[in-house]
Structure 1
Amino acid sequence: MDDEPPPLVPPPAPHGGTGASASRLAQASWTTFDWAFQPFFTLVTTFIFAPYFVAAVAPDAVAGQALWGYTQTVAGIAIALLSPVLGAVADAAGPRKPWILVLAACTFAGCALLWFAVPGAGGGMLLLTLAAITLATIGAEFAIVFNNAMLPGLVPPHRIGVLSAIGWGVGYIGGLISLGLVLGLFVLPEVPAFGLDKAAHEAERLSGPLSALWLLVFILPMFLFVPDQPRTTLSRRAAVRQGLAQLGATLRHLPGHRNILRFLLAHMIYGDALLAIFAFGGIYARATFGWDLLTIGIFGILLNVLAMTGSFLGGWLEARAGSKATIAVSLVMLILGTIGILSISGERIFFVFEVTPPAPGRALFDSPAEWAFLASTLVLGLPFGPAQASSRSLLARLAPPRLMTEFFGLYALSGKATAFLAPFLIGVITEVTRDQRLGIAVVLPFLALGLWLLAGVREDRPER
């Protein structure tokens, strides 16, 4: 049995830390955080603004994918360096909501500035766009860390996985609705709502301010109805000292929990791949087939429906086979789906079979290569939800009950510690080889290594 050294400085007990649950209103309001932030990930970083940036704002598509990768790298490095420190200080000081408020404001500001990313922007405007994306990403990812830290205080340990999965599902629904609004109001009508100019790509640019407004409105229930940690009597300087001391003690004791350590390493590696697939999926699809905004939007709806459906199927599988098996099946599907989309170009499918290329002015998804791409997307999209929801569930099964909050903090750290690495490698390889396909292929070794590490995790012997 693994050794279990006690923490150096016990963190303040969260609401519900004795096993009691917060109210249903509080639990439901906690899930609206995912709903509030999801349009940033759906509209800005994946399906609407990111492909537009690569195709119309950056000097060319290859440079655009590289620049986008570097923004995610800068954000990832900042998150890796600062999230454990801020999290430890917040644990010592008490409340999480003030931190979330500041970070949400960063995401709001970054998204609002994207309206000024006009086509062909160069010089200072291009730098402003890259800075806005970086600021919004840092704010969103840090806010997620603090929101996750509130989860163990809302429900008993055995229900953490359930509320976690509901949060993911609510987020996907929010992403679907926001994407549907963009298509219905600004893309499908001959004359877009509010008199937007399609030729000036105002629909794509508005995805940033729309995400900011959505965040401002829908994050309010979390602030109003979710209980927060009580404020401690520590001064800011004392909170910093105690928070850093707790972080140091936790990291020193982690080798004594070898089973959890292996899972956290696996989560760190395959989590990088998941983030990269989300960040570059829309960019790669547009570069491969030259899809317009409507086609990209429909593709995004399909992917979100698949991810949401996969979340429900993953819950069914987890109840029967366990969290580890659900994650493993998800990673295998992600590997197969990634290989599938990388094997497809406009003229060739599965590397060797030549097909008729898409014709100009064609109907929607009217080529063999596009249908093969959609089939690979089916394999790629279904496991997104289960891979993430079951990861949180598995940690809840592995962690000793009295150290649950501490290990959820480490879980958040493992998800961010190397978040810059896959985007950085995608950017570098794309720029060096001038090949977007080789850049995206970086995710495959991350998925394979994460799967190998996960295989050594013992789910049937939880630590006590």
Structure 2
Amino acid sequence: MVRSVNTPSRARRDVHGVISWALWDWGSAAFNTVILTFVFTVYLTESVAADPKKGSEALGLALTIAGVCIALVAPVTGQRSDAGGRRKQWLAVHTALVVASTAGLFFVQDSPSYLLLGLVLVSVGSVFSEFATVNYNATLLQVSTPATIGRISGFGWGMGYFGGLVALVVVLIGFVQPEVGLFGVTAQDGMNIRVVALFAAVWFAVFALPLFFFVPEVESSGEPLRRAFLGSYVVLGKRLARMWRTERRTLGFLVASAIYRDGLAAIFTFGGVIAAGSFGFTASEVVVFAIIANLVAGLGAFLGGRADDRFGPKTVIVTALVGLVVVGGALVVLPGKPAFWVCGLILATFLGPTQSASRTFLARIATPGREGEVFGLYATTGRAVSFLGPLAFSGFIALAGSQRAGMGGIVVILLIGLLAMLPVKAPERSGRTDEVTTGDAR
């Protein structure tokens, strides 16, 4: 471990690196929040498709195919970027592909003949966004030290929440809600939403750029890359066998985190549905709640990152999961909108720390030089069990005949993930608080 004097000029470079790294998360949120969640996919299913039901089915199928591609390819792309010392280079390539596919959505008019183009571009963006995230998560170790990794991860995750929120507000006020938006844009031919796609592409590109200037590249692992792409799967298979023999903790964490992360995803997916269907929220009330919940989740991520450095990521994860299980269980039985406001915002507070600490847990235990590969496996295991949350939600509704019971199904998934996490050994604590944040800090 290299130890250096933290001079003012050195400290400024370190701060620039951390902020530049977090700005990528701020920018990428435009694709996740504006394109995938709230705006463009709704446009595809409601305005482009012949009818919403068929549009939703087509979107679900397209994203399922994208998920399979991610699960099969993500570990190998991470492995190859590690071996060649080209983690940042591949992050740039994947980011550019997300930006390009997002910008291409501008050409999707509100006619069924454009549905296939829209679905292909959204799916391609989803795949390369996940590949980029694999490389991005691995670069966490290039801007942090053992003493700062938690707060930096939390800072990045919080920036993602706030970036998505700011982008969404600009989109809604500037293009979606007014009859005549910025630059004279109207809803004719879906132009107001198509311009939103251009906005999201530019937003991501602009805020991603600083990372490539101020974050150092990872050193090559020294492993040759002359083998064919398919040969990488042979290497991956041997690597998994070796992990089974010598890195059981890593495998245990991948399994446990895949389960509870699917529970977290289910909260995001079905939270608005439960608010409207079980607690009587209007559409506008759901939007207001979503905005406030994002603010709370971002703040929770910041605070959780500091708790991570002080108490360790496992303590943060377990504490947050216990809170999610208890408060989620209360939401199953408590009546009235005030109950949802209180419990929902508490749930949002726990979401950010769980996600951020999960990233730092894996970064702390990853074999040096193999971070891209292990974060690729992190993406794969998450995709492999992505059916659990929706299945538990719909299954409990079918069994109990009540939508509110679906929240109980999500709580069960979180509880199973918590129980699977308990036996996983926590990363070793580091008492080194005087190390500087540099690319060679490891």
TM-score (norm 2): 0.78
Aligned 1:55-454 pairs, distance under 5 A: 55-58=46-49, 65-119=56-110, 121-122=111-112, 124-187=113-176, 189=178, 191-198=180-187, 202-229=191-218, 236-238=225-227, 247-255=236-244, 256-279=246-269, 281=271, 297-315=287-305, 317-318=307-308, 321-335=311-325, 350=333, 369=337, 372-397=339-364, 399=365, 403-406=367-370, 409-419=373-383, 421-422=385-386, 426=390, 443-454=410-421
Look up the equivalent residue of 2:35 and give its one-letter code. Answer: V
Specify which structure has the higher proportion of helix: 2
Equivalent position amino acid for 1:382 in 2: T
The one-letter amino acid of 1:377's match is G
Counterpart Cα distance in 2 of 1:438 and 1:194: 46
Q: Is the 8 A contact 2:45 2:51 kept in 1?
A: yes
| Residue range with higher mean Cα deviation, 70-79 or 135-144 | 70-79
1:28 to 19, 25, 29: 19
The Cα of 1:133 is off from its aligned counterpart by: 1.5
CA distance in 2, matches of 1:295, 1:116: 32
Using the alignment, how far apart are the partners of 2:103 and 2:405 within structure 1?
33
Report the RMSD for the aligned CA atoms in angstroms.
4.0
Q: Distance in 1 between matches of 2:250 and 2:103?
A: 40
Which residue is equivalent to 1:9? Answer: none
Contact 1:264 1:411 (C-alpha < 8 Å) held by counterparts:
no
Deviates more, 1:82-91 or 1:176-185: 176-185
User: Is contact 2:320–2:353 with CA below 8 Å preserved after alignment?
Assistant: yes
User: Does the 8 Å contact 1:308/1:385 carry over to 2?
Assistant: yes
Unmatched runs of 5 consecutive residues or more in structure 1? 1-16, 344-349, 354-367
The structure-2 alpha-carbon separation of the partners of 1:161 and 1:243, relative to structure 1 and needing over 3 Å to count, comes to farther
The alpha-carbon distance between structure 1 residues 325 and 155, as it changes in their structure 2 partners (threshold 3 A), is: closer
**Cα distance change on mapping 1:279 and 1:112 into 2, 3 Å:** farther
Name the residue aligned to 1:38.
29
Alpha carbons 1:157, 1:396 under 8 Å: kept: no
Letter in 2 for 1:223: F
Residue deviations 1:98-133 (CA, integer Å, cap 9, x gap): 3222212321233223345555x43x4222222222
Please identify, of 176-185 and 224-233, the stretch whose mean Cα deviation from structure 2 is larger.
224-233
- Alignment partner of 2:226: what SS? helix
The 1:279–1:223 alpha-carbon spacing in structure 2 relative to 1, beyond 3 Å, is farther
Q: 1:107 to 1:396 in 2, by over 3 A?
A: closer
Alpha carbons 2:95, 2:132 under 8 Å: kept? yes
Cα–Cα, structure 1 residues 313 and 167, in superposed 2: closer, same or farther, change >3 Å? closer
Contact 2:321–2:414, Cα closer than 8 Å, also in 1: yes
1:48 matched to 2:39? The reply is: yes
Letter in 2 for 1:213: V
User: Identity over aligned residues, as a percent?
Assistant: 33
Checking the alignment, whether the CA contact within 8 Å between 1:97 and 1:223 is kept in structure 2 is yes
Q: Is the 8 A contact 1:426 1:440 kept in 2?
A: no
- 3-state secondary structure, aligned to 2:370: helix
In the aligned structure 1, how far is the partner of 2:290 from the partner of 2:195? 17
Task: Give me the whole-angstrom Cα distance separating, in 1, the residues matched to 2:66 and 2:328.
Answer: 24
Q: How many pairs does the alignment contain?
A: 418
Task: Tell me, in whole angstroms, the C-alpha distance in 2 between the residues paired with 1:177 and 1:143.
Answer: 22
Residue 212 of structure 1 deviates from its aligned partner by 0.7
Instruction: Provide the secondary structure at the position in 1 that maps to 2:424.
Output: coil
Contact 1:104–1:143 under 8 Å retained in 2: yes
Deviation at 1:96, TM superposition (A): 1.8
Deviations 1:163-208 (A, max 9, x none): 2112112222211221221233235556422223257664444432
Equivalent residues of 2:259, 2:413 under 8 A apart: yes
1:426 and 1:71 mapped to 2: Cα distance?
Answer: 17
